[in-house]
Every structure is written in structure tokens, then in C-alpha cells.
């Protein structure tokens, strides 16, 4: 099922990948506003070097840009 908004819990082994289908059909990209996809990865449990919730990394991808 495609992820529309919110969060998804993933359990991946090191050096493994997965795909998360996104629902992008209900958008207002034609409104002239900038639109971004933000992804953030966090620990779901405490480990020796960081507490639960520690952010491991984040990315931001532009999906639509404002008119010039």
C-alpha cells in the first residue's frame, strides 16, 4: 500500500535496500508552491553509541519548484 503521509517503520539489515511506494497523485503541484519529499531515518531502540530516536540521516528531494 502506498505511503501518503506520516511514517513507516522499516527493519533492514546493513547494506540492504527496500522500496516504499508513495502516493503522489493527490497533490497541488500546479499551485505554484515548492514541493519537497523529506526523508529522515531514526533509531527505534537505544544502542551503545546513541539513544532511541537518534537521527541517522536525512534527505530532501524537490518534487516541484515555484515559478520563476
* Per-residue model confidence as pLDDT tens digits over 20-43: 777 776 666 666 777 788 888 888
Residue pair 39/18 in contact by the 8 Å Cβ criterion: no
**Is the pLDDT reported for residue 51 higher than 90?**
yes
Between 30 and 51, the higher pLDDT residue: 51
To the nearest 5 percent, what fractions of the chain are helix, strand and coil? 5, 30, 65
C-alpha cell at 37: 519529499
Amino acid at each position: 500500500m502506498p505511503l501518503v503521509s506520516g511514517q513507516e517503520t522499516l527493519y533492514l539489515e546493513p547494506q540492504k535496500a527496500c522500496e516504499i511506494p508513495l502516493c503522489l497523485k493527490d497533490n497541488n503541484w500546479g499551485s505554484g508552491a515548492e514541493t519537497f519529499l523529506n526523508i529522515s531515518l531514526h533509531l527505534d531502540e537505544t544502542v551503545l553509541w546513541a539513544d532511541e530516536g537518534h537521527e541517522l540521516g536525512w534527505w530532501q528531494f524537490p518534487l516541484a519548484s515555484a515559478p520563476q
